[in-house]
Structures are given as C-alpha cells and as structure tokens.
Amino acid sequence: MSTASRSSSRSQKKSNSPYFPESRSIATESLHAQSEKLSSRSTSQLVKIFIDEERKVEEAIRTQSKQLVQAVDLIHHAFREKGRLIYLGAGTSGRLGVLDASEIPPTFGFPPNRVIGLIAGGKKAVFKSQEGAEDQLTGAESELKRLKLRKNDVVCGIAASGRTPYVLGALFFARAQKAKTILITCNPLRKKRISVDVAIDLPTGPEIIAGSTRLKAGTATKVVLNLLTSISMIQLGRVQGGRMTHLHASNQKLQDRAIRNVMTLGGRTRRESEQLLIQHQWKVDQVMAFLQLR
C-alpha cells in the first residue's frame, strides 16, 4: 500500500471512530447569528456583542445546578477519604484544569498532590499549543498509571466539545480502575459515548468566533471549576466567616491578609495577631487552634 493510501486509510478509520464525530454536530462549532458581519462592526459594537454574550454563561451554569451539587459531593467525599481530584483536558480546557489545581495549595493550604491538572501534550502544552495531542485516545493512561489511580480518586474530564479522545480515553481508563468520574462539556447535544458518574453539559451555545472555546465556553468552565473546588474546601473547614484559614502567607500581601484574618476571627489586635502568626510560622489555622485551646 502506498503512503498516500495508508494516510487515506487512517483518515477514514479516524472519521468513522465514535471518538471523532463530525465537528458540525458540536454546539461550539456552529456559526453564531451575529458572526457573519463582525468585520464591518465598530469597536463599540464589537465590545457590546462580546459583553452581551457573556450573560449567557450564568444562564448555562444555572441549568446544571443539580449536577454541580452531585459533582461537589463526589469531590468532597473523595477528599475526606484521602482521595484526589484529577483534572484532564486539552488546549483551553486543559489549561483551565491546570490553573485551578495550581491555585488550591496557596489559597487553601491543601497539599498539591491532592488536586492535579493533566493536559494533553504535557506541561509544555500549558504555554505552547500541542493540538495533535488531544487526538491520542490513550494519551493520559501513562500519567494516570504513574499517579497510581485509586478508587477513592475523582477524575474530572474537561472537553468543551464533549468528544476529545484524550479526555474520553482517560475517563474510560478511570472507570476501569473504579475511580469516580465527572465530565464537563459545553455541548448538551453530544452523543453519550461514555458513561460517567456526573455529566455537566453547559449550554453556552455557539461562540462569536466559531469554535473558539476560550470565549463563553472557557468562561463557563472556569466558573464551574472554581465552584467545585471552593465549595469542597469550605466543606473541609478551610474557610471560616468567608476568610481563608489555611492560606500560605508567602509574601507581604498574604501576610497582611493572614493578620486581618486572625484579627477578625480571633478578636486580637493587629500587633497581637502578627506576633501570634510569627510564633506559628504564619499559619492561620495553627494560630486559631492555639487561641481556642487557651
């Protein structure tokens, strides 16, 4: 068989795969009603169009309230059982997972190995696009094996289209390991190619720039990830009175925040709060425990 024939055969096999549906069936790939005349719009008109579109993000998230409750409960239970939350995604979706995972330790003092972000193409894909990596159905398996995936872990796949092979393959592998699974998409009409414990399908609709899921889909996904982990941390007691009680006070801004937290929660003066924090290596939770024991 010639090189061209082999290439054609591979393409045909790929197009017939259930993991590679036609893009026209994906909501985020559809053409928006206001897209065709974008080039003729003024700057003020374009700004208004983009702002108006963002209003649909909140509406989309509200439709998934029940599923969000289920997802938070899964994650909270996993954390209580010493399990982990592992995000998986490609491109924008993967970067959002990595971002959320990276923000948990400094904000909530939660161990960095308990919320993990994996992205198709590896760490280099965070900074430079590695588009082909998302088509690798088994691309995440080696990473999940390295992490020794366990049944008390939660694997959260993020795919705006709902069809990214890298994500679906990882979820399939996770289910085989008896781990809990969540899938976040912006394509409610997607074909259900894999069974998961919780599916969050956000109806954000077509993007102003067709297929650019860094727009509404990205915004909605970021809000959902914030919600999942922030509520889980509240339920673990790492927030009191709306304040971070386990933050890492690693710079002047965070040290000032830690002082104010102790002042408010512990009823101490600024000077007393600062002295207590210095004595306890700037750990708010340890200061609060010390004050409660006195």
- Delimit the domains of the chain by residue range: 51-235, 241-293
Beta-strand pair 239-240/85-89:
unpaired
Distances (CA, A) of 280 to 170, 208, 274, 284, 287: 42, 51, 10, 8, 6
Q: What average pLDDT does this structure show over 200-225?
A: 92
Residues 267-291 have a mean pLDDT of 94
Does position 135 have pLDDT exceeding 80, yes or no?
Answer: no
Q: How confident is the model at residue 47 (pLDDT cuts 50, 70, 90)?
A: very high
Q: For residues 129 and 93, is the Cβ–Cβ distance under 8 A?
A: no
**Active site amino acids:** 103, 134
Q: For residue 112, give the nearest of 104, 120, 122 by alpha carbon.
A: 104
Task: Determine the Cα–Cα distance for residues 253 and 280; give it in Å rounded to an integer.
Answer: 18
Q: Give me 1's structure tokens.
A: 């068989």
39 band by pLDDT with thresholds 50, 70 and 90: confident
Residue 32: band (very low, low, confident or very high) from pLDDT cuts 50, 70, 90: confident
What are the residues facing 223 on neighbouring strands?
none
Position 20 pLDDT exceeds 80: no
Average pLDDT over residues 53-61: 93
Average pLDDT over residues 215-237: 96
pLDDT of residue 129: 79
- The structural architecture, per CATH, of the domain 241-293 is Orthogonal Bundle (1.10)
What's the pTM value of the predicted model, to 2 decimals?
A: 0.85
Residue 194, both tokens: 């894999």
Would you say the C-alpha torsion 252, 254, 258, 263 has a positive or negative sign? positive
Which residue would you say has higher pLDDT here, 202 or 24? 202
Question: What is the band of 30 on the pLDDT scale with cuts at 50, 70, 90?
Answer: low
CA-angle at 225, arms to 221 and 226, nearest 5°: 115
> How distant, in Å, are the alpha carbons of 26, 42, 154 from that of 183?
16, 38, 11
Please, which pLDDT band fits residue 294 given cuts at 50, 70 and 90? low
- CATH class of this structure's domain 51-235: alpha beta
Q: What local confidence, expressed as pLDDT, does residue 196 receive? A: 97
Q: What average pLDDT does the structure give for the chain?
A: 88
- Per-residue confidence band for 208, with pLDDT thresholds at 50, 70 and 90: confident
d(CA 181, CA 159): 13
**What is the pLDDT at residue 2?**
43
pLDDT at 7: 37
pLDDT per residue over 190-205, tens digit each?
888 889 999 999 999 9
pLDDT tens per residue, range 150-193: 999 999 999 999 989 999 999 999 999 999 999 999 999 888 88
